[in-house]
């Protein structure tokens, strides 16, 4: 997964998790593709069936291949090494560009995923952005999000995985210092133009996320259910504009 892009829209990973973009042979998705850089396919697609009983995942992957669009399979793998190996080999048959795996799955499973990736980018999930400070401290015995993300990032990097997924406010500058190869790529979900009453506890504005050091933004709701003043394509353009502002602040 290439780290830097001259065009801000190529830093947008669209989280395709809305049925409206699947109807009528992906008619709503097609005009969006020139305004994003990659499509992330999550559980809503992976486990879905089309009306004829065929796999929605296979149909969507074929559609994106036909439109030369990079694909990230958001499998969030978390299992023992042998099971991870089998899963990664199956994902590889799809011809996609990358997949996700939880850092908490364990070192050996992470190493196996990296070894079996066949050129795909392995994206390590640190701490879900739906988990806030209190819940994190409850789960990890008093450890807050920033420290827990740093722990998972170090684990991933030590296992050869240098693309990580975390919040924009998990001290990204400190995370980069962990990676001595200087190859770290940071993908940031939980992107919002303003606060929403939803499940994102650690959200960030796109400009703020880029300014904080994120390389790419995983964006779902702000595109498929945008604010009333935007159509979904205009929403994607607006996010690209905010990304550009963040890049200028970083001197890029």
In the chain, what are the domain boundaries? 8-236
Q: Is 76 a catalytic residue?
A: yes
pLDDT digits (tens, 9 = 90+) for 176-230: 999 887 889 999 999 988 766 666 888 899 999 999 999 999 999 889 887 666 7
What is this structure's pTM?
Answer: 0.93
**Residues 6 or more apart in contact with residue 1 via CB below 8 angstroms:** 97, 98, 121, 123, 163, 185
pLDDT higher than 70, residue 3: no
pLDDT higher than 60, residue 111: yes
Long-range CB contacts for residues 194-199, cutoff 8 Å, separation at least 24? 194/227, 196/221, 199/130
**The domain 8-236 is classified under which CATH number: 3.40.50.1980, 3.40.50.300, 3.20.20.70, 3.30.70.330?**
3.20.20.70
pLDDT digits (tens, 9 = 90+) for 18-31: 777 887 778 889 99
pLDDT higher than 60, residue 4: no
pLDDT, averaged across the chain: 92
pLDDT digits (tens, 9 = 90+) for 87-104: 999 999 999 999 999 999
User: With pLDDT > 90 as the criterion, what percentage of the chain qualifies?
Assistant: 76
pLDDT higher than 70, residue 148: yes
Q: Which of 3, 30, 76, 237 is catalytic?
A: 76
**128: nearest Cα among 108, 162, 100, 156:** 100
List, in sequence order, every residue forming a beta bridge with 119; answer none if it has no partner. none
- Residue 108's Cβ-side half-sphere holds a number of Cα atoms within 13 Å equal to 5
Rounded to the nearest 10 degrees, the angle between the axes of helix 145-158 and helix 107-115 is: 50
What local confidence, expressed as pLDDT, does residue 198 receive?
67
Distance from C-alpha of 107 to C-alpha of 99, rounded to nearest angstrom: 17
């Amino acid at each position: 997964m290439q780290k830097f892009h001259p065009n801000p829209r190529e830093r947008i990973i669209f989280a395709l998790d809305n049925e409206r973009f699947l109807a009528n042979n992906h008619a709503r998705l097609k005009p969006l593709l020139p305004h994003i850089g990659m499509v992330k396919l999550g559980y809503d697609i992976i486990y879905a069936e089309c009306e004829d009983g065929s796999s929605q995942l296979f149909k969507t992957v074929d559609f994106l291949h036909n439109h030369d669009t990079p694909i990230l399979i958001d499998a969030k793998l978390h299992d023992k090494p042998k099971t991870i190996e089998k899963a990664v080999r199956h994902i590889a048959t799809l011809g996609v560009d990358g997949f996700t795996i939880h850092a908490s799955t364990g070192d050996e499973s992470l190493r196996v995923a990296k070894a079996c990736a066949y050129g795909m980018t392995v994206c390590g999930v640190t701490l879900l952005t739906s988990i806030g400070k209190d819940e994190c401290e409850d789960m990890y015995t008093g450890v807050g999000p920033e420290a827990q993300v740093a722990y998972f990032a170090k684990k991933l990097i030590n296992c050869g995985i240098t693309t990580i997924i975390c919040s924009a406010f998990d001290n990204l500058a400190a995370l980069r210092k962990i990676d001595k190869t200087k190859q770290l790529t940071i993908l940031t979900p939980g992107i919002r133009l303003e606060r929403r009453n939803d499940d994102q506890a650690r959200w960030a504005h796109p400009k703020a996320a880029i300014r904080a050091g994120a390389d790419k933004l995983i964006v779902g709701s702000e595109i498929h259910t945008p604010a009333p003043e935007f159509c979904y394509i205009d929403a994607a353009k607006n996010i690209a504009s905010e990304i550009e502002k963040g890049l200028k602040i970083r001197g890029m």
